[in-house]
Structure 1
């Protein structure tokens, strides 16, 4: 029963992560387009986009944050496995568990802090300096969703590990074990 719940959680979260990955991909495409327009606008000033640097910075935050859960779900973070490969399976499980707990210790306070920050920014209607007066809360909201997906993925992986799975990464995630 627990394995079915965990599998369902992986499927649901996988769908959410794929949606966030689409958002991250669109943000990267927009970054490339804005940089291209900025380069071309040096010769054609008519194409100038105000606050281009602010927009690119904020889109970079969106692209990174919205892909965190998806990358974590596929075990895609940079790792050096020299020592890990020489450990016993029990030691590897302990290291995975420790890494997941450390990730949660980092992620949960960040989620709480960013959630409060998003609420405060929305209530105060804070804007970035610049010609367009872009509101700050949409980017922070995307950052919050990215951190929420990361936190949920870490929780699911920890639950999988505690439920007895040798590999907390779901088999349908494209992980090569």
Structure 2
């Protein structure tokens, strides 16, 4: 029963992560386009985007944060596993559980802090300085969604390992292809 719930959670989260991955990819394309326009604008002064130095870093935050859950679900983070590969499977499982728990120790306080930050920014209607007066809360909300997907993925992987699954992310969890 628990394994069925965990697998369903992986499927739902896989769908959310794919949506966030589209947002992250779109942000990267927008960064490339803005930089290209900025370079061409050096020769053609008519092509000028105000607040480019504000927009590009904010899009970078969106592109990184929105991809965190997806990368975690595919075990795509950088890992140094020289010692890990020589351990017995039981100790590998213990190390994996410890790594997931450490990730949660990092992610949960961040989620709480960013949630409070987004609520404060939305209530205060804060804007970035510049010509366009862009609001601050949309970027922080995207950051929050990325962190929530990461924390949920870590929780599901840890629950799967503790429930006895060999693979913390089943193949039918929405990450195929």
TM-score for the superposition, normalised by structure 2: 0.96
Structure 1 residues 23-65: Cα deviation after superposition (integer angstroms, max 9, x where no partner): 0000000000000000000011111000001100000000000
Distance 1:170 1:27 in 2: 29
Q: Deviations over 1:75-102 (max 9, x none)?
A: 0001111110000011000000000100
Alpha carbons 1:73, 1:170 under 8 Å: kept: no
The correspondence of residues 74-113 of structure 1 with structure 2, limited to 5 A, is: 74-113=74-113
Unaligned runs of 5+ in 1: none
Matching residue of 2:31: 31
Q: Partner residue of 2:8?
A: 8
Counterparts of 1:27 and 1:162, CA distance in 2:
36
Instruction: Find the aligned partners of 2:170 and 2:29 in 1 and give their Cα distance.
Output: 29
Q: CA RMSD in A?
A: 1.1
Query: What's 2:150 paired with?
Result: 150
8 Å contact from structure 2 (residues 10, 169) kept in 1: no
The question of 1:44 aligning with 2:40 is answered no
Higher relative contact order (CA 8 A, sep 6+): 2
User: CA–CA distance in 2 between the matches of 1:54 and 1:112?
Assistant: 25
